[in-house]
Amino acid sequence: MNDGILAYARVIFVLGGILVLAYLVLRRWLPRVFGMKAKLQGPIQVVDQCALEPRKRLYLVQVGDEFFLLGSWDGGMEMLSKLDRNSLTETPDEGAQMEKPLKTASFRDRLTRS
């Protein structure tokens, strides 16, 4: 009888490990491999995003030469504001002559400048 209980416990332990591995693959690895690759060409690009709550996000979207701040939630998506490109770029240091590229600034830094 102890052999049956031990075999049952081993099966439950292995099944739990398989479920944890499947969860990690489906929730963490697959979205990074397939869903999170940035589209490099085209007129519309998501420059950055920020999670506010589990189902609420802010997106910084570039359409041509214009930038928009969008908010999304369970009920849909809404344009919050149109942003000026000059307010999104980092200001150069006093000794630096060139402006830093847009992608080096974090989402929080971009919003605090506007």
HSE of 78 in the Cβ direction (CA atoms, 13 Å)?
5
Tokens (6 digits) for 64: 């041509």
Helices (H), 25-64: 30
- Would you state the pLDDT for residue 9? 93
Give the single-character DSSP code of 41. Answer: S
- The residues with which 57 forms a beta bridge, in sequence order, are 51, 72
Give 74-103 as a DSSP string.
TTEEEEEEEE-HHHHSPPPPSS--SPPPGG
Per-residue pLDDT of the chain (114 residues; tens, 9 = 90+): 678 899 999 999 999 999 999 988 888 777 666 655 555 567 888 888 888 888 899 998 888 888 999 999 888 888 888 888 777 765 444 434 444 444 556 667 766 665
Would you say 103 and 47 are in contact if contact means Cβ atoms under 8 Å apart?
yes
pTM of the model: 0.45
